[in-house]
Each structure stands twice: as C-alpha cells, then as structure tokens.
Structure 1
Amino acid sequence: MPARLRPADPCEVAVALDRFRAGDPERADLRLLTKHFLALLELRAPGRSVEVRVPPYAAVQVVPGVRHTRGTPPAVVETDAGTWIAMATGELAWTDAEAAGRTRASGERADLSPYLPLI
C-alpha cells in the first residue's frame, strides 16, 4: 500500500505560495504545494472512489464511496499543478476550471467542488 501524503511545513508552504502567486514558482514549489494540498484533500474527503491526478507530482484516491482496487478507477480527476493549486487556494473555482478545460473529471463523485477550496 502506498504511503499517504502528509501536509507540508506551514513555513515552507507560505514561501512556496508567495512565489506561486508572484508567478515565479520553482518546480520544487509546485511539487511541494501539489502534494501538500492533495494531503489536505485526503484529510477532508477520506475514501477511495475518486482518483485525483496531478502529473507528474502525485495522485491520491479520495471521497467516500465504492472502493477502487485495480485498473481505471470509476471516477478520475486530472489537472496540472498550477490549476490544482489555484483551486485548492480558492483563486480558481472548480466550475471555472472545468469550463475552461483546465481540469478533466469523469465518473460519479468526480465533482470536487464540495471540498474546495482547502484553505
């Protein structure tokens, strides 16, 4: 069983968020923030019915419901790191990200709007 993600140190998150909001994030900032906010999502929406993918940084299974164990999960959300961070911080609404094609969601329970923003 893969290790669960853990929220990052608040000071590191603050520094990385400052660079992200300034439009100058480093790859390490994107990785840290992506994993941090996915860890917060795991805490807010425990379960295994939706797989949230933010390549190349991480993927988690969240949201209560039918447990996924093999192959393609019944519900998948995929987005890039910048979009994920913007949705997690409330700078971008879930519906706006979907309408703009910045996130792809398929299957039951794939709507993450009840869980966002995370801060």
Structure 2
Amino acid sequence: MSEGRSALDAVRVSRADAAKPARTELATAVRYLLQLLDEKAPGNSVEVRVPPFGAVQVVQGPRHTRGTPPNVIEMDAATWIDLATGVETWVEVVAAGRVQASGTRADLSDLMPLRP
C-alpha cells in the first residue's frame, strides 16, 4: 500500500503545482484508491470503472456473471481521485456530468470519501 499512497501524494503535489501528474503515478494512485474502495465495500453488484487504469466490482448484492453489469459507474482519473479523497462529493461530480452511472445501485455517496 505504501507505493499507492506515495503515488497518490505525488499526484496531489503535481496537481497543486498545476502540473500534469506522471502517467505511472496517476495509474498507481487510481488503482490504490480502487483497492481501498474494494476493502471498504466488498461485493460484486456495482462495477466502478476508471479507464484506462482500472475497474473493481464492489458493494454486496446480486452478482452478475455475463455481459455488462447492471450497475456501472465510470469516470476519469481526476474525478475519481477528487471523489475518493473528499475534494468533491458524489452529488457535485454527478451534477457536473463528470460521472456516468447506470443502475439502481450505482451510487457511491455513502462510501465516499475514502480518506486514504
């Protein structure tokens, strides 16, 4: 986890300096936060996607086994990092159109922020 935490810190510094974070650090930070989400809400009923860096199935409930899952949440890396770390709320990113969510369980408001 220390590698993920270090990458997240590096991404935060880059963004604070108005610089573009290194792609490898961004990818590691995204995956680290997805792992924290999986630990907080294990399950298989909602798929959270942060292309091209990762995806995870979380939240207890009905499991899907074929095709596109019925509950999908997708966003870019910057939005995911802001949401997971509490810079922005679920309501804010959804209202801004920065998240695509489909399905009755596609809501992370009760799980955010992760506070890594």
Same fold (TM over 0.5): yes
One-letter code of the match for 2:13? Answer: D
Show the counterpart of 1:70. Answer: 66
- For residue 109 of structure 1, the aligned residue among 80, 105, 108 is 105
Matched, 1:15 2:10: yes
Q: 1:16: Cα distance to partner?
A: 3.1
Where do 5+ consecutive residues of structure 2 fail to align?
none
- Say which SS state the counterpart of residue 114 (structure 1) adopts: coil
5 Å matches for 1:22-101? 22-24=17-19, 25-101=21-97
Look up the match of 2:114: 118
Question: Would you say the 8 A contact 2:7–2:29 is kept in 1?
Answer: no
Q: What is the total number of aligned residue pairs between the two structures?
A: 113
| Identical-residue share of aligned pairs (%) | 50
Q: TM-score under structure 1 normalisation?
A: 0.88
* Root-mean-square deviation over aligned CA pairs: 1.4
How big is the shift at 1:8?
Answer: 4.8
Relative to the length of structure 2, the TM-score reads: 0.90
Q: Conserved in 1, the CA contact under 8 Å of 2:51 and 2:77?
A: yes
| Cα shift at 1:53 | 0.5
Structure 1 residue 99, shift from structure 2 partner = 0.6
> Structure 1 stretches of 5 or more lacking a match?
1-6
